[in-house]
Amino acid sequence: MPKAAQRQERISIRLSPQAKRKLERAAAYSDKTLTDFVVDVALKTADAVVRENEVISLTADEWERFQRMLLDPPEPNEALRKALEEHSRIVTS
């Protein structure tokens, strides 16, 4: 958790009194301030969401196939040739 002196940005949230009490209770159980608790939980969730959307996981078999395809790619098919022609037409125009 960044030290308070390093914090430069601010966000504001509105929530019900019940939600605030629940967060305060959880923060107390965690021996954290409400702000530190909310930031920690939000950052952990953000890390998980980013990882889920930006990291690709492959099985050992998938990794082997990926490496083979990089080292010995198949010949381009008609669809790929058309896509490359379209790309060249758009990009060079």
Q: Hey, where are the domains in the chain?
A: 17-92
Geometric angle at alpha carbon 33, from 52 and 1, rounded to 5° = 45
Give the closest residue to 10 by CA, choosing from 46, 39, 48, 50.
39
**What gap in Å lies between CA 13 and CA 4, rounded to an integer?**
19
- pLDDT for 3: 59
pLDDT of residue 36: 96
Name the amino acid, one letter, at 20: K
pLDDT for the residue numbered 92: 78
Per-10-residue mean pLDDT for the chain, 93 residues long? 72 96 98 97 98 95 96 94 94 77
Residue 23 makes CB contacts below 8 A (sequence gap 6+) with 15, 34, 37, 38
pLDDT score at 93: 61
Q: In 1-93, where does DSSP find H-type helix?
A: 17-29, 34-54, 60-71, 78-92
pLDDT at res. 6: 84
pLDDT of residue 7: 81
